[in-house]
Amino acid sequence: MAIQQEWFEKDYYATLGVDKGASAKEVTKAYRNLARKLHPDANPGDDAAEAKFKEISAAYDVVGDEKKRSEYDEARRLGPMGGGFGNQGAGFPGGFPGGGQFDLSDLFGGDFGFGGNAGRSRRGSDLETTLSLPFREAVFGVTTTVSLAGGPNRAATSREVKVRIPSGVKHEQRIRLKGEGGPGNGGPDGDLFLVINVEPHPVFDRKGNHLTVTVRVSWWQAVLGAKVTVPTLDGSAVTVKVPPGTPTGRTFRVKKRGVQNGSRTGDLLATIEVDVPTDLTKEQKAAVEALEQSFSPTPSQPDDGVKE
């Protein structure tokens, strides 16, 4: 279990604004809400927001992963026993190997068997790490590198693995890289499993293979009808005809502009949100009131039961 020294220094729960006992669903919800607010696309040129976005992403990489979260909690529970985290390892006079991280197998032997399996061929251990992807890269696919820290069960130094992420990967999807895990001892190397963390987008969301977007229209556009521009994830734009009398919540479908997942491509679902004016001038308010009166129904006559 590789433990980063910064785990002892940073409270990732506080970074995400959740309690230590928060459920996985609550952690994910908190992260996605913060990511939408702090995403660089939503805050162009704001260095502070970008730095904060990196902080919450780093926090979610750990506490958003069940295995890493368990290791993080255990490390912080045991950490203070040694008192301090300078150049010495907490509770271990010799400090941690390398200063920046340590592996529990350094303390107990590579397989916790104390030599009992000496001479027996063994398959390498499987490794797992979280890979964070911007929303756009998860939709369209990307070739990227994954950095793996060194340790006794791997290479002596850190290494990078090049990986092609296919289009349409989903949040928390696991991708297996055969033979990229821990080295075997007379047996095959283990596998590397990537757990995908898809960062929220400030404009688009995903529903299966469909992309969803909210399109705001003015009150008079909704009443009279209009042609409105709908943004797309690839940067182009499409036009949708909004008929007269369109209410908030009506959804229009733009075919084949969603997520391509294998041989299937989803649609873009554009949901209308009507902007209702709140700061009307006296003249505008009078005009709206006059319009309202023109639509007021004539009081109905009482029914005397006589049919003509």
* CA pair distance 244, 100, nearest whole angstrom: 63
Of residues 102 and 11, the one with the higher pLDDT is 11
pLDDT at residue 123 in the model:
87
Mean pLDDT (the chain, rounded):
80
- Tell me the per-residue pLDDT of 174-231, one tens digit each, with 9 for 90 and over: 999 999 888 888 889 889 999 999 999 999 999 999 999 999 999 999 999 999 999 9
Task: Specify the DSSP class assigned to residue 128.
Answer: E
Query: Cα separation of 281 and 33, whole Å?
Result: 36
Among 173, 139, 90, which residue's Cα sits nearest to residue 265?
A: 139
Q: Give residue-wise pLDDT tens across range 94-142.
A: 334 333 344 444 333 444 444 444 457 888 888 888 999 999 999 999 9
Partners of residue 251 on adjacent β-strands: 271
Domains belonging to the chain, first-starting first, are 1-76 (1.10.287.110), 127-198 (2.60.260.20), 204-275 (2.60.260.20)
> Over the range 122-135, which residues count as b (16 or more CB within 10 Å of their CB) and which as e?
bbbbebebbbbbbb
Residue 223 neighbours by CB distance under 10 Å: 14
